Amino acid sequence: MNPTAPSYAHGTADRPLIGETVGALLDRVAAQHGNRPALIVRHQNIRWSYAEFARRAEALAAGLLALGLEPGDRIGIWAPNCAEWVLTQFATAKAGLILVNINPAYRRAELEYALNKVACKALILAPALKTSDYVAILADLAPELESAAPGALAAEALPHLRLVVRLGAEKTPGMMNFDDISFKGGAVERERLADLAETLQFDDPINIQFTSGTTGFPKGATLTHHNIVNNGYFIGEAMRLTPEDKLCIPVPLYHCFGMVLGNLACVTHGSAMVYPAEAFDPVSALEAVAAEKCTALHGVPTMFIAELDHPRFAEFDLSSLRTGIMAGSPCPIEVMKRVVDRMHMREVTIAYGMTETSPVSTQSSTDDPLEKRVSTVGRVQPHIEVKLVDTNGRIVPRGTPGELCTRGYSVMRGYWADAEKTKDAIDAGGWMHTGDLATMDDEGYVNIVGRLKDMVIRGGENVYPREIEEFLYRHPKVQDVQVIGVPDRKYGEEVCAWVKLRPGATATEDEIREFCRGQIAHYKIPRYIRFVDGFPMTVTGKVQKFAMREETMKALGLTAEKTA
């Protein structure tokens, strides 16, 4: 390691950035690959070519304009993975509308906050998902729907919302049906779409995604055509996607993982998007890969673990798999090795990023050495800069942990209607501060060592939870593990490990600690060990360590100001 070299890297590229809107991109790709498969939705029995997909997106865009929506208006979508979701993604872009992704896990208060924060004029919703009755939740929030004419809602709690569109064939008072919209647009709207194609700019905002927000209210990261088209393209390049590839997308579309790493990585390369189910289910994902002969598969680590450890795993022929992405949270090295070996994903890549950066900043390549692919998050993406800084904002030497900051085409426009929080996140130099702690080696490979706020300071020693987690994954009985810091009067903080054992395995706290002794420094050995069945998580598979910390403190009777 060269201690004098700064932790800074700039992604050079022989491929220029794409200067197109999402709509122009789809038109170009459909013209090139019209007969090739674009979308396969197994739970809806849908198989559309690129020509068919582009035709349907155009018809939906014209219909939305016919309903009185204007470029710049915000339109929410609150639905699980389905064909209507991706159609809406591309149709809104063509019409110059700003798509607002609503988390399928949201309930009444969260829905109200999101719709009002960005002043949504329209909302497309699924009737229900699992135990969530979306129609009932909205009706409770806006009882005026019952007597409103479709498209003319005036609700006290949702003053900006005018139009509600529901999926499915059933009729609901005050709502339109999604399938009817495409028939609303005529020659006038088609002509207007053609005019818009000439006037829309790739720097226009196109998408608002709410960050999960571990403290306070979620913030609406505002992304442009340029942000997500280019990020999708370079993500696909890192996987070496071609029109021959089929990508299985079991990750949620409402999040960047689905709509950018999934949908846009495919569309920019003429590859096929394959949705196995409404929401993640390990068997559905395995079935989709085997039946469709998918060449790529996305997932967060917990999804890959669920697939690998499923009792029916051996039934499925996964030999068509070549690549894919594991991302969303730190990827355990041992899990990565099993994915390469048992799922045939020899060219699997790791991607790192955040919603505010469209989302990927670093990614491993298919030809990176396996050791680099399983132990780092790769190198900086083309046309993006990355630096690691200390608490004073100074770049740290290679090999030294620092906060990862990123700059380039991928950085969001800002948080919607929140200049103060935008200023907190993006500094005067245009650098997005991620809040993640990382190291950079001599070759520019980045390793995420934890969150700034998750770092445990025990008796003055900096302890990085990721390091302990990686060690404990080696224990033959451990299926999954998460490490947090909890308050301690003597040392300030102590290490606590939540351990999920393999099915049928039993272990004691002493057994886990004994495994650590002599292998890692004494101050890193967990003082507290809790055996659990799972971890509190966001819908996208991010472990909520703040929730783990609160629950542990309550169980152990610990008190401190630092709880998040």
Determine the pLDDT at residue 161: 98
Task: Name residue 117's amino acid.
Answer: K
For the chain, percent helix, then strand, then coil, each to nearest 5? 35, 25, 40
Sign for the CA dihedral angle at 47, 50, 51, 54 comes to: positive
Give the closest residue to 99 by CA, choosing from 137, 150, 57, 128: 57
Determine the pLDDT at residue 488: 87
Determine the pLDDT at residue 4: 78
Q: What is the number of alpha carbons within 13 Å of residue 298 lying toward its C-beta? A: 33
Q: Does domain 217-422+437-449 sit in CATH 3.40.1190.20? A: no
Determine the pLDDT at residue 540: 65
Per-position pLDDT tens, the chain of length 564: 777 799 999 999 999 999 999 999 999 999 999 999 999 999 999 999 999 999 999 999 999 999 999 999 999 999 999 999 999 999 999 999 999 999 888 888 889 999 999 999 999 999 999 888 999 999 999 999 999 999 999 999 999 999 999 999 999 999 999 999 999 999 999 999 999 999 999 999 999 999 865 445 789 999 999 999 999 999 999 999 999 999 999 999 999 999 999 999 999 999 999 999 999 999 999 999 999 999 999 998 889 999 999 999 999 999 999 999 998 776 778 888 999 999 999 999 999 999 999 999 999 999 998 889 888 999 999 999 999 999 899 999 999 999 999 999 999 999 999 999 999 999 999 999 999 999 999 999 999 888 788 888 888 777 888 889 988 999 999 999 999 999 988 888 899 999 999 999 999 999 999 999 988 888 899 999 999 999 998 766 778 898 999 999 999 999 864 332
Determine the pLDDT at residue 539: 66
Q: Where are the alpha helices (DSSP H) in 473-529?
A: 509-516
Contacts of 504 (CB under 8 A, 6+ apart): none
Q: How far apart are the first and last CA of the chain?
A: 34
Determine the pLDDT at residue 560: 64
User: What 3-state class would DSSP assign to 259?
Assistant: helix
Q: Which CATH class is domain 22-36+48-200?
A: alpha beta
**Segment holding 391, helix H or strand E:** none
Contacts of 518 (CB under 8 A, 6+ apart): none
Domain boundaries, the chain: 22-36+48-200, 217-422+437-449, 459-556
Dump strand ranges (E) for 491-558: 492-501, 528-531
Q: Please state at what angle helix 134-141 crosses helix 108-117, rounded to 10 degrees.
A: 70
DSSP of 450-476, one letter per residue? Answer: EETTT-EEETTEEE-HHHHHHHHTTST
Determine the pLDDT at residue 370: 85
Residue pair 303/309 in contact by the 8 Å Cβ criterion: no
**Which residue in this structure is represented by tokens 């420094």?**
521
Determine the pLDDT at residue 388: 98
Which CATH code for domain 459-556? Answer: 3.30.300.30
Determine the pLDDT at residue 160: 98
Determine the pLDDT at residue 212: 61
Question: Do the domains 459-556 and 217-422+437-449 match in fold?
Answer: no
Instruction: Tell me the C-alpha distance between 117 and 109, whole Å.
Output: 12
Determine the pLDDT at residue 76: 98
Its pTM surpasses 0.85: yes
Residue pair 204/92 in contact by the 8 Å Cβ criterion: no
Residue pair 222/412 in contact by the 8 Å Cβ criterion: yes
